[in-house]
Structure 1
Amino acid sequence: MAGAAAEAPAAGGGGKKKLILIIVAVLVLVLVGVAALLLMKKKSHAEDGEEAEAPAAHATVKAGTPPTFVPLDPFTVNLADKEVDRYAQIGVTLEVADPKVADQIKAYMPAIRNNVLMVLSHKTSADLLTQEGKEKLAREIRRESVRPMGVELDDEEEDADAPKKKKKKRRAPDSPVTQVLFSTFIVQ
């Protein structure tokens, strides 16, 4: 009988160990499940956020799909020439890859027109009459046309004039406006 009594406590201790191992395994599985659920929710929230910020995000465009053009009403502005009163009449069309972005641009049109007018009103006739001046203006209009939608583009011209500094190369944000086209360009 002494042998049977010695086996009973040993069996009870082994049962407690098995119970503890089962509880630990269940807790680990529950924690892994909760972590996976949180990651899935975070991912779905991020996707919802991307849809809400569609101007900054590009929709993939199938090859062969024509771009969408958003014409702006012509701009007529007094130029910043000091010696004589001059004005410019400029027609601008924005090229976008996605028709959804074109609708969003139309929603921001008053702010976009304001930004473009501010850029144009600081130009002189000498700035606008050269090919380089027109190219720089197109870059500035592109930058200012996406700013109301929360997209900040770096001005390549300013970066070229600035002293070279060692800095990390960061990827420039994608612009919903792929190109700025001039439909009319009159300086008088």
Structure 2
Amino acid sequence: MAEEEKAQEEKKGGKGKLIFLILLVLILAAGGGAAYKFLVLDKKKAAETKEKQAEKIIEEIKATENVGVMFDLGTFVVNLADPDIERYLKVSIVLELKDQKVQQEAQKRLPEIKDAITTLLLTKRSSDLRTPEGIEYLKEEIAKRVNAILPLGGVKNVYFTEFIIQTG
């Protein structure tokens, strides 16, 4: 009987050791997996991110090398559409055009272009133009209107060299 108890205890002890060893192996495997992730995979992701950033910088440099023809439209002074008080906008606009042909066409249609921009500016309220988003939207609207006037389009960008909102 004592021998049977000893055999059962050895079986229980053997099972306990086996469970302990399995748990130890699982913990070591999880630790190894975590170490691999932090040491290898994260470094790969960081390297890929750096490569993408470098490619983006190269694209930006190439984009600046392809600067179009600058066409100065001059300064516009208009009343804004604020109902409560008279406010004035003074803005100087330079268009970046695709090439010399577009510049020649813009020169021919300068009165139309200035009229379209003046008409657009007269519809704006000062609250529309006090945020960076509002100013960017105005640039987009100007580009669309001028491109609609030019037969082949050609406005690449709109720049404000002066932008003043004055209360009167």
> Compared with structure 1, are the counterparts of its residues 66 and 133 closer, same or farther at alpha carbon in structure 2 (3 Å cutoff)?
closer
What does 1:53-92 correspond to in 2, within 5 Å? Answer: 64=65, 66-92=67-93
Q: Which has the larger radius of gyration?
A: 2
Give deviations 1:145-187, integer Å, cap 9, x for gaps. Answer: 1222246xxxxxxxxxxxxxxxxxxxxxxx4000001110000
SS of alignment partner, residue 123 of structure 1: coil
Per the alignment, residue 42 of structure 2 pairs with none
Per the alignment, residue 140 of structure 2 pairs with 139
Per the alignment, residue 105 of structure 2 pairs with 104
Per the alignment, residue 165 of structure 2 pairs with 187
SS of alignment partner, residue 110 of structure 1: helix
The answer to whether the 8 A contact 2:97-2:155 is kept is yes
Whichever structure has more helix as a proportion of its residues is 2
Question: Sequence identity of aligned pairs in percent?
Answer: 33
Which structure 2 residue ranges, 5 or more long, are not aligned?
1-63
Output the amino acid matched with 1:187: I
Whichever structure has more strand as a proportion of its residues is 2
Output the amino acid matched with 2:161: S
The answer to whether the 8 A contact 1:112-1:146 is kept is no
Give me the whole-angstrom Cα distance separating, in 1, the residues matched to 2:155 and 2:97: 5
Backbone CA RMSD of aligned residues: 1.6
Give me the whole-angstrom Cα distance separating, in 2, the residues matched to 1:64 and 1:122: 36
Output the amino acid matched with 1:109: L
Structure 1 runs (4+) deviating above 3 angstroms are 63-66
